[in-house]
Amino acid sequence: MQEMCGAELKALPESVQRVAQALQAKGHEHMPVMLDAACRTAQQAADALGVSLGQIAKSIVFRRIADAAVVLIVASGDRRVDETKVAALVGPIGRADAEFVKSRTGFSIGGVSPIGHLKPLVSLVDGELFRFDTIWAAAGHPHSVFRLAPYDLRGLTGAPVADVTEAAPA
């Protein structure tokens, strides 16, 4: 894992630079880090970082049926998003394919960040993330993540916290 100090941001992929700039603009203290291995899944990210699966803030993208708006759910890595709960909050949703995700967020699946999107979107933050003091989110590329506290998500995204996941297994 490589820490970023700022000067090397120009060498980063454009999508990671966009996330770094959004973090800097919000005064966030932790810049993106590049991981040696790709972390396209929450489990891969947790393994690479040596943290629990729940500490990974995974970004799940849906397409709102009524207006084709992007609906981004930032959920705890150990929880499954409940599409019925999400639809009750934002309206009927459908799956978003890779082309839709890339063209509307500017990120490829496996690297979708909660911030730094190309276009405005509807976001919700999973309340289950607040079980942890520290979480990690994708920073615009499958090899890049950034550290934050769950409460930082509200300030960085402007998204409300909601119950959007299935109940934990007993």
pLDDT band for position 7 (cuts 50, 70, 90): very low
pLDDT of residue 10: 54
Question: Is residue 169 assigned to a domain?
Answer: no
Exposed (0-12), middle (13-18) or buried (19+): which is 1, by Cβ within 10 Å? exposed
Instruction: Encode pLDDT of 74-122 as tens digits.
Output: 999 999 999 999 999 999 999 999 999 999 999 999 999 999 999 999 9
Instruction: Encode pLDDT of 151-170 as tens digits.
Output: 999 999 999 999 999 987 76
The yes-or-no verdict on residue 129 having pLDDT over 90 is: yes
Please report, for residues 8, 28, 65, the alpha-carbon distance to residue 151 in angstroms, rounded to integers and kept in the order given. 28, 12, 30
Question: Is residue 168 assigned to a domain?
Answer: no
Mean model confidence pLDDT for the chain: 92
Task: Output the domain CATH number for residue 82.
Answer: 3.90.960.10
Q: In angstroms, rounded to a whole number, what is the distance separating the alpha carbons of residues 114 and 87?
A: 19
Number of structural domains (the chain) is: 1
Question: Is residue 1 assigned to a domain?
Answer: no
Domain that holds residue 118: 7-160
